[in-house]
A and B are shown apart, each in its own frame.
Chain A
Amino acid sequence: MSTPKMNATGEKSPQTRAPLPSQVVKEDEPILVAAAKAGDISAFETLVSRYERKIFRLAQNITQNREDAEDVMQEAFLKAYEHLSGFQGNSRFYTWLVRIAVNQALMKLRKRRPNQVSIDEDVNTGNDLIPREIEDWGPSPEERYKQSELAGILNSTIADLDPPFRIVFQLRDIEELSTEETAEALGLSVPAVKSRLLRARLKLRQKLDRYFRRSENQ
């Protein structure tokens, strides 16, 4: 086994692809958190730089406002630092951080659109969910688009969802919180999360269909 190549500053060479955040989480997150709790500032900074992009995207997707998203991200990290001693380690640090960020983001959203946003309002889960004429997408429809194009498609698609669906989908399927964690973070029941999630998934499927259906891309 060879050691990873190091460049002059001692960092791994760029050829070594960074592991996905969800993989990283499982490895050394508890060690970094313990160090940060013991007063190691650079450990906390490592956590920040690891998650800043994800937390910013989360805030952006919830608030749909760049300025608010930036505030939310800053507030979330500052709050996390402030309350680090109260973090018990019962959940992943990232899950805890997401919950802080979601609270900040929801406050912003409610301030901007007080009449529009109620996460716990009743949503009807009628029988209109299943469309009739479905088209095949083929095995890797996303590969027909450049990465930046795909990012644009995904952002505008999720922005189109109403907040109760958008936020549940964000937590459950993008941040990969469990159904229970999502319910707890949003103050919803588990069945409420599930019904919103199904609706969100099916709506997004429908919205992506026009980009991914095979017949129009051949």
Chain B
Amino acid sequence: MNCKTLVVELEDYLDEELDSELRTSIEVHLAKCKNCKLIVDTTKKTIQIFCNSEPAPLSEDTRHRLHDALVKKLGRPRA
């Protein structure tokens, strides 16, 4: 495993879909290559930050319009 071949397996590595042999050889490389280790760590962090981000509340106007559309469809006002 080197820096170039690592990228081929990176997607499956990030999603933990590799068999243990391939996984080990990536980890061996990561243990001695600072650059790849940082790429993997910061990419994991990127995923985590996006995944944990909370969606913003809807604006009042947007909520009202959704509410109205639902009332029309469902046939009675929301409680």
Contacts and interface: CB of A to CB of B under 8 A. Distances in A.
A56 to B, nearest CB: 6
A78 B69 contact: yes
B35 A134 contact: yes
Contact of B70 (A78, A129, A204): A78
Q: Give the contact-size bracket for chain B.
A: 35 or more
Most B Cβ at <10 Å: residue of A137, A147, A150, A205: A205
A20 to B, nearest CB: 8
B26 to A, nearest CB: 14
Q: DSSP class of B's interface residues: helix, strand, loop or mixed?
A: helix
A188 B1 CA distance: 29
A108 to B, nearest CB: 16
A204 B46 contact: yes
A174 to B, nearest CB: 5
A176 B51 contact: yes
Interface stretch (A25-33, A40-48, A93-101, A110-118): A40-48
Q: Give the contact-size bracket for chain A.
A: 35 or more
B62 A56 contact: yes
A173 interface: yes
B76 interface: yes
A158 B7 CA distance: 22
A206 to B, nearest CB: 9
Nearest to A69: B62
B65 A173 contact: no
Contact of A53 (B57, B70, B73): B57
Contacts of A45: 70, 74, 78-79
Nearest to B15: A179
B12 to A, nearest CB: 7
B72 to A, nearest CB: 9
Given A70-B65, A205-B43, A209-B42, A81 B12 contact: no
* A-B pairs with lowest CB-CB distance, top 9: A53-B55, A134-B38, A57-B55, A198-B11, A205-B46, A74-B69, A205-B43, A194-B11, A142-B49
